[in-house]
């Protein structure tokens, strides 16, 4: 099957169309299916929409926004206007306080909508003080977990592998008037203009991954769209955070309650020496991947769209049982 043949064209066009329906993407936005993960976009974004002397603003809420910021230093003049590092990335800044730090001439304001490792999630989005500054968001780990008002953003980008498909597909939703001014040194594969003009078919795309994303978009629409998906995600997260908060301190979630992620739930034990046992026994009961990221320790339950209620309920029952045995 050629990626230019009518069979695959119908697959990628249907995937784009269903994603546009799911997220209610306005006509003035392009949808691109790319490769290389969000990490490639960390470079592509400044390369496409800045010149080397342009100021841009970054809010650092965890590891991913920090990586995005560091990559941007190669291509323009990024400023950190807020960092949660000193509070171990457990907070999202208040938007009023941001206003005084924002650069009037910033080309964009970059956020990571959900920090996969630290479990902090933007529940609303800051508005740049200059209406010419566009909001750019890495939504890799909460893409399609809830409705989003795309019109508030200049660029939304996401690796597919959390909620919508296998790894190896990156989705970029970009306002069309931002396309076409890439820096001269931009690799052709990082130039949004090339991909927009070629409907993501400039070279052979990750066809199988895009096909799988399309199947997931169909399924999300059949579930009733992202309003219904968000209801399920909220309920799953509530069950788990309630179990943590009602454990009399046996379990602890370090993240500020109002910005806890619906996708990634980090927690620790009051007795850290029990954490290894917790992870091992859980794995024995087929609850795997519960160890926290090597950079933060503790545990982390990732409860993406595909995690059923039963999975969360089983974990909560296990947590109560574990506590009863060790309290």
160 contacts 41 by C-beta, under 8 angstroms: no
Rg, the chain, Cα only: 20
Give me the phi and psi of 74, to 5 degrees please. Answer: -75, -20
d(CA 195, CA 187): 12
202, 239, 313, 318: which one contacts a copy of itself (CB under 8 A)? 202
Residues 272-291 that bind a copy of itself (CB under 8 A): 288-289
- Binding range to a copy of itself, per CB under 8 A, among 29-37, 89-97, 145-153, 309-317: 29-37
Question: Could you tell me whether strands 264-269 and 251-252 are parallel, antiparallel, or unpaired per DSSP bridges?
Answer: antiparallel
- CB under 8 A, 24+ apart: contacts of 64-68: 64/38, 64/112, 64/115, 64/116, 64/117, 64/138, 64/140, 65/110, 65/111, 65/112, 65/115, 65/138, 67/39, 67/42, 68/38, 68/42, 68/110, 68/112, 68/138
- Identify which range of 85-93, 180-188, 257-265, 272-280 contacts a copy of itself by CB under 8 A: 180-188
Are 59 and 75 in contact by the 8 Å Cβ rule? The answer is no
Which residue's CB is nearer to a copy of itself, number 42 or number 122?
Answer: 42
Q: Quick one: which segment of 21-29, 90-98, 161-169, 313-321 binds a copy of itself (CB under 8 A)?
A: 161-169
Measured distance CA(201)–CA(264) in Å, rounded? 33
Catalytic residue among 18, 57, 138, 191: 138
- Is 5 a binding residue for a copy of itself by CB under 8 A? The answer is yes
Q: 33 near 12, Cβ under 8 Å? A: yes
Judged by CB under 8 A, the number of residues near a copy of itself is 39
Out of 104, 203, 246, 280, which residue is the one contacting a copy of itself (CB under 8 A)?
A: 203
Task: Report yes or no: 98 and 59 within 8 Å, Cβ to Cβ.
Answer: yes
The correct pick among 161, 163, 200, 268 for binding a copy of itself (CB under 8 A) is 161
Q: Which of 64, 66, 91, 107 is catalytic?
A: 64
Please list, in sequence order, all residues whose beta carbon lies within 8 angstroms of the beta carbon of residue 286, skipping any fewer than 6 positions away. Answer: none
The distance of closest approach from Cβ of residue 198 to a copy of itself in the complex, given in angstroms and rounded to an integer, is 11
Taking the C-alpha atoms of residue 37 and residue 181, their distance in angstroms, rounded to an integer, is: 22
- Least distance CB 248 / a copy of itself (angstroms): 31
Report the residue from 53, 100, 185, 248 that binds a copy of itself according to the rule CB under 8 A: 185
Residue 36: alpha-carbon gap to chain centroid? 15
Q: Is 38 in the site for a copy of itself (CB under 8 A)?
A: yes
292 binds a copy of itself (CB under 8 A): no
162 catalytically annotated: yes
Q: 159, 214, 292, 298: which one contacts a copy of itself (CB under 8 A)?
A: 159
The stretch near a copy of itself (CB under 8 A) out of 101-109, 125-133, 201-209, 243-251 is: 201-209
Binding-site ranges for a copy of itself (CB under 8 A): 1-3, 5, 35-40, 42-44, 47, 71, 74-75, 159, 161, 166-169, 184-185, 187-190, 202-209, 288-289
Question: Which residues are identified as catalytic?
Answer: 64, 138, 162
């Amino acid at each position: 099957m050629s990626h230019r043949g009518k069979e695959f064209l119908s697959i990628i066009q249907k995937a784009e169309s269903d994603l546009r329906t799911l997220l209610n993407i306005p006509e003035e936005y392009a949808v691109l299916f790319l490769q290389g993960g969000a990490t490639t976009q960390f470079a592509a974004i400044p390369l496409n929409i800045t010149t080397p002397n342009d100021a841009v603003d970054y809010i650092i809420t965890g590891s991913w926004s920090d990586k995005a910021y560091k990559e941007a230093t190669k291509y323009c003049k990024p400023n950190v206007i807020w960092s949660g590092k000193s509070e171990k990335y457990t907070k999202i800044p208040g938007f009023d306080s941001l206003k005084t730090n924002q650069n009037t001439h910033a080309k964009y304001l970059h956020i990571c909508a959900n920090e996969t490792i630290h479990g902090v999630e933007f529940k609303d989005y800051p508005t740049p003080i200059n209406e010419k500054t566009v909001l750019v968001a890495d939504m890799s780990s909460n893409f399609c977990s809830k409705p989003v008002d795309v019109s508030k953003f200049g660029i939304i980008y996401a690796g597919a592998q959390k909620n919508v498909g296998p790894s190896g597909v990156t989705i970029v939703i970009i306002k069309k008037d931002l396309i076409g001014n890439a820096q001269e040194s931009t690799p052709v594969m990082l130039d949004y203009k090339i991909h927009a003009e070629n409907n993501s078919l400039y070279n052979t795309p990750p066809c199988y991954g895009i096909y799988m994303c399309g199947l997931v978009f169909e399924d999300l629409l059949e579930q009733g769209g992202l309003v219904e998906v968000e209801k399920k995600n909220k309920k799953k997260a509530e069950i788990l955070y309630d179990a943590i908060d009602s454990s009399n301190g046996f379990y602890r979630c370090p993240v500020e309650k109002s910005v806890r992620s619906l996708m990634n739930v980090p927690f620790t034990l009051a007795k850290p020496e029990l954490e290894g046992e917790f992870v091992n026994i859980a794995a024995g009961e087929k609850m795997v991947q519960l160890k926290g990221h090597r950079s933060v320790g503790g545990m982390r339950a990732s409860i993406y769209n595909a995690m059923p209620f039963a999975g969360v309920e089983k974990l909560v029952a296990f947590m109560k049982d574990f506590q009863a045995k060790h309290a």
